[in-house]
Amino acid sequence: MTVVQLENLRQTYDGRHIAVHQLNLTIPSGQITALLGPSGCGKTTTLKMIAGLLNPTSGRVLFNGRDVTTVPAEQRSAVMAFQNHLLFPYMTVADNVGFGLKMRGISAATIATRVAEMLEQVQLPGYGDRRPRELSGGQQQRIALARALIIEPEVLLLDEPLSNLDAHLRDEMRELILQLQREKELTTVFVTHDQEEAVILADQVGLMFAGKLQQFAPPRDFYDRPRTAEIAQFFGNENLLTGVIQNGRFQLDHSEIELHINHAEQKSAQITIRPEHIELVTPLTPADNHVTAKVTHRLYRGTHTRLQVTIENIPLTVIVNSHVDFPHGAAVSLRLPPEKLWVLA
C-alpha cells in the first residue's frame, strides 16, 4: 500500500512552455485516482514523472514519504501501461507477460507459473503461445495489464487505458481493472480525457487545465460542488446564473427573480444547478424557487429529453423524463431546489 505525494512538481520544455505548474497532490494508498483533463493539460506528463520516465524540472515525487525523484524508473516499483500497448511483436504472449520477471532474474519455472496465474486473472487462459498480432485490441490491452501487474508494483500507472477500445470492450476492461485493483489494493493512477470513464473508475479525480490542478475530489463533487464555472461546464453543466446573495436570497442580475439559497454570505456571485436537478412542477400557485420558462429547443435522447429554456431571456438547460414532451415555445413551470443551487468560486 503506497501513498504517492507530488510536491511543487513542475515540468517545462525548452525553458519556456510550462507543461505542469507547481502541482501539489497526495494520491491515497490502495485507491484509484484519475488525472482528468483536455489534451495538452499535463496529465500524461505528470504520470511519466511519477513513473520515473521523465525528470521534473523542479519539485519532488515521494512514495510513502520516501523521495524517489531521482530513483531510476526500473528501481521505483511503479509500472506504467501505455495507451499503445507496446507488446513485443516477435514474442509470444507468455514471453511478453513474463518479460519483467525475466529481467529480474526469476527462474523459468517460477515465471511459467506466474504467467499462467496472470493469464487466468485477465481471463485469457491458454493464450500463452499466441503472438500479439493474433489478438484483438481488447485482448492486447489485457496482456499489457498482465505484464504490468506480474511484477507486483507498488503503484500502477495507466495512460488512457480504454481509449482505443470499442464501447462494449471498454465496459469489460473497466470491470477487469476495478476487479484486479480491488483484489490487490493497488495504488492506481490513470489518465483520461473522458469524464464518464473517470467517474466510473476513480475513487477521486484530479482535474487539470493548462498544467494546473483545478480540483481534487470524489467524482460526485464535480457534479454537485464544482469549484468554478469552467469546471461545471467541463462536466456538462451550462447553467450559470449571475446575481447578488443577500440574507439567504439570490437576486438574479437584470431580473425580478429571487431564489432562496442555502448560502448566507452576502456578495456578488455566480451560481449553478445541474440540468437533471431542475424539477418540472404544476403551475398552481406561486411558490419559493418556482419560475416560469419558455422552451426554445428540445432534444430527445432515448432515456431522457434535454430542453433548452429561457427565464426572462436567461438560458437554462433542463433534463426531463423522455415521455414528457413540450413543443417549441411552450411555457413550463420549474423549481430550482435550494439544496441543489451551488455557489461557484
Please state the pTM of the whole predicted model. Answer: 0.89
Residue-wise burial string across 2-16, b where 16 or more C-beta atoms lie within 10 A, e elsewhere: bbbbbbebbbeeeee
Which long-range contacts does 41-45 make (Cβ < 8 Å, 24+ apart)? 41/208, 41/209, 41/210, 41/211, 42/11, 42/208, 42/210, 42/211, 42/212, 43/191, 43/208, 44/159, 44/160, 44/191, 45/11, 45/19, 45/20
Domains of the chain: 4-230 (3.40.50.300), 238-343 (2.40.50.140)
Tens-level pLDDT at each residue, the chain (345 residues): 899 999 999 999 887 789 999 999 999 999 999 999 999 999 999 999 999 999 999 999 999 999 999 999 988 889 988 877 778 889 999 999 999 889 888 899 999 999 999 999 888 999 999 999 998 888 888 898 899 889 889 999 999 888 777 777 788 888 888 988 998 899 999 999 999 999 999 999 999 999 999 999 999 999 999 999 999 999 999 999 999 999 889 999 988 889 999 887 888 999 999 999 999 887 755 678 999 999 999 888 888 889 999 998 899 999 988 777 788 888 999 999 999 999 998
Say which residues have a Cβ less than 8 Å from residue 75's Cβ, sequence separation at least 6.
Answer: none
| Alpha-carbon gap, residue 49 to 147, rounded angstroms | 21
